[in-house]
Amino acid sequence: MSILVVGSVALDTIETPFGRVEEVVGGSAVHFSAAASLFAPVHLVGVVGQDYPVSRLDMLRERGVDLSGLEVKPGESFRWSGRYGHDLSTAHTLETRLGVFADFHPRIPASFRKPRILFLGNIDPVLQLEVLDAVEKPELAACDTMNFWIAGRRDDLLRLLRRVDLLFVNDAEIRQLAGEPNLVRAARWVQERGPTRVVVKKGEHGAVLFDHDEIFFVPGYPLEKLNDPTGAGDAFAGGVLGCLHHVGDISAGALRSAAVFGSAVGSFSVEDFGAARLEILTRDEVAGRVRELCGMTHFEIVPSSKGVA
């Protein structure tokens, strides 16, 4: 059994204060797969145009990603162009050309229809629902979304939430979705509508995991080298779900551990543009950074402070 990811496969042009790249491979499915395949077999479903340099996805094939669900259709591939200022938490979109992605309806090969874990990348919730209808119920179904779908496809998104176990979303998006400025109450609002687990991504500040009645904070790794945050959220999700698949456990304890691995993978992804750093990332490097994160966050109550704890 494997992880099934359904999402975008794109060509990105990115400008940050640290450089510029043109038409690098990107998209939610690519960043997710590059991360998750460090730990588990991945099946990818997406669409590209005939102009897409598919050979540049060989790095995914070499990691064991099955690309037989990637359709190549006549027309132009999905392209996104964006610019970041020194506040790398906000991308300013310069151009979006959907190309063949505008008419995308996921076709799930028969061999992909029994995933252990399903990740629905940031696409129209109507399409995410189509995927759920096309596969056997996975052990864990997770999805991502964004402000565009929250505003424009709210009813469909709420229908989707009733059918997934885990939602990945950033702090601004969950506040918009719930209409609630308090993060804890916003997460509880989401949980009442379906997913018992919610991961709120907070960029360089890590993430907050809401698992039933428990809350767990995952720190972000402090970086000296940071070039491009594009796709870091998908890499984080890939690290989390890949780790869960690898250990064969989706318990609360396993999810906490996986979230730390996801934070480590996400931190590597921002060190270079596009998916370039993920292409050469090794599991040993991730494990080393996880150990560093554990060392940064571990503490003991010393005798002089016992009276306040």
pTM over 0.75: yes
The answer to whether the CB of 206 falls within 8 A of the CB of 219 is yes
Q: Given a cut of 90, is residue 307 above it in pLDDT? A: no
> What pLDDT, in 10s, does the model give residues 270-285?
999 999 999 999 999 9
> Is 5 a member of any domain?
no
- Indicate the number of domains in the chain: 1
Whether 187 is in a domain gets the answer yes
Q: CA-to-CA distance for 96 and 214, rounded, in angstroms?
A: 39
Q: Is 144 exposed, middle or buried (0-12, 13-18, 19+ CB in 10 A)?
A: buried
Here the CATH number for the domain that contains residue 289 is 3.40.1190.20
Among candidate residues 268, 281, 274, 194, the one with its CA nearest the CA of residue 231: 274
Rounded average pLDDT over 61-73: 96
Pair type for strands 65-73 and 42-49 = parallel
Instruction: Answer whether residue 82 is part of any domain.
Output: no
Taking only the tens place, the pLDDT of each residue in 90-125 is 888 999 999 999 999 999 999 999 999 999 999 999
Within a domain: 246: yes
Query: How is residue 145 annotated by DSSP?
Result: -
Query: Which amino acid, one-letter code, is at 107?
Result: R
Tokens of 192: 């009442």
- Whether residue 291 is contained in a domain is answered as yes
Residue 7 lies in a domain: no
pLDDT at 206 over 80: yes
Sequence-separated (6 or more) residues with CB below 8 Å from residue 32: 5, 7, 42, 119, 121, 234, 235, 237, 238
Q: Provide mean pLDDT across the span 180-196.
A: 96
Q: Range with the lowest mean pLDDT among 24-28, 73-77, 82-86, 104-108?
A: 82-86
Domain that holds residue 265: 28-38+57-64+105-298
- Whether 110 maps to a domain, the answer reads yes
Number of H-type helices and E-type strands within the chain: 11, 13
pLDDT exceeds cutoff 90 at 266 = yes
DSSP state, residue 191: H
> Is 46 among the domain residues?
no
Answer yes or no: is pLDDT of 79 > 80.
yes
What is residue 251's DSSP assignment? S
